[in-house]
Amino acid sequence: MKKELLLASALVSTMGVASVAEAVTATMSGSHHTGIRGVDADDSNDNTVSHISASSFTVSLAETTDGGIGISSSFMLANEGTGGTQSAGLTLTFTDGSKLDVMNAGNAAASHDVSVPGGAGEASITVTTTNRAQTGLDFFAEGTAIGVEWHSAADFMADGLKVGVSMSADDGTAADGSVDVESSWGIGATYVTSAGDTAVTIGAGISESEWKDNAQEPSNGSNGYHVGFSAVTGNLTVAAGYASGDDVDNSTAIDEVEITDNTVSKIGVKYVAGDVTLSVGFSTAEGADSTTLGTSDVNQDSVDSTDAGISYAVASGVTANLGWKNVDSTDESTTETSGGTSWYIGANMSF
């Protein structure tokens, strides 16, 4: 009995020491937005008005070794309305300012696309599922959770230059009835300079991925590039971006859909006047989709979108948003009726 008591005492003591040693620094952040969205869809005679609400809550963990290397990660306790909770991998920050993301690392091409101003809030229009034109500047930049991404320090080889490199490997997920990413690589770069009173940012990236499916032959992969710029003069921001490449759509339940010769062009303007931010943006996307591997449909899908918004900083962490969006959609080179107009009014609270 005495031995058991001594063993239990030693175990409790050890756990106590371990809990102190593992007391990393934890911070919390999150947001909650709520508002009203109206939709006037072209494929319906009825106008709809709905309440939109979503919340997120994230815990970030970080600590620094005696050698000065930072170790950090994070996880979400809630991500309501935007795809569920997520967990980050591990990030190592080195003394020279460079970083290495390990697991769930992402794609370096996507990390360096330029942000283009658009609307405000949650104005949204859904187009038909058969329209597969990709609308993001990083539509081709996939990856698996089994991957790494290296971020250089600032002023890498030249003042104002940052670069990144990523790669991911097969995570073993079966591609039953659909497709999955097998491996990927990506390269991205961001260059910041000035021209008189204007701060100029140039971003570019290139990526390629291999896919696997349930057929005897593997599907063609995704590949592409993007380039963009942002110019800030005082309170005025002007930005534009362009992307081109091929993609594989894995949202279908039967087999892969290949989107070839997809292009995306975006331009936007933002002006900040005190607590008020005005923004407007336009984007156009076009691509040919096909369910036959290695072939390109001559008929094009396209999505043209115009956004505008007004944001007002009501208080610290509280922003009121008024947004408007119009979408024109074309499926298989035929003008369809799944676009329309949407408006939104609401507030976002963050901490």
Domains of the chain: 26-350 (2.40.160.10)
pLDDT level of residue 6 (50, 70, 90 thresholds): very low
Q: Any idea which residue has 């290495």 for tokens?
A: 100
Q: Are the CB atoms for 109 and 207 separated by under 8 Å?
A: yes
Distances (CA, A) of 57 to 27, 43, 54, 75: 11, 36, 11, 9
Q: Given this model, what pLDDT does residue 3 score?
A: 39
181 pLDDT tier (thresholds 50, 70, 90): confident
Question: Which residue would you say has higher pLDDT here, 15 or 231?
Answer: 231
- Maximum pairwise Cα distance, the chain: 85
Range ranked top by mean pLDDT from 75-89, 169-183, 184-198: 184-198
Q: d(Cα 128, Cα 327) in Å, to the nearest integer?
A: 12
23: helix, strand or coil = coil
pLDDT tens per residue across span 193-238: 998 999 999 999 999 998 887 665 566 788 999 999 999 999 999 9
State both tokens at 88: 């980050």
Compute the radius of gyration of the chain from its Cα atoms. 24
Contact 56, 349 (CB under 8 A): no
pLDDT band at 81 (very low <50, low <70, confident <90, very high): low
Residue 16 host element (H or E): helix 2-21
Measured over the CA atoms of residue 107, residue 262, residue 260 and residue 339, the dihedral's sign is positive
| Closest of 179, 185, 247, 240 to residue 211, by C-alpha | 179
Residues 82-138 pLDDT 10s: 555 667 789 999 999 999 999 888 899 999 999 999 988 888 888 877 788 889 999
The model's pTM: 0.83
Using alpha carbons only, give the angle 115, 119, 124 rounded to the nearest 5 degrees: 110
Cα–chain center distance at 350: 19
Residue for token pair 């369809």: 336
What is the mean predicted confidence (pLDDT) over 292-302?
A: 67
Dist CA 315 CA 70 (whole Å): 33
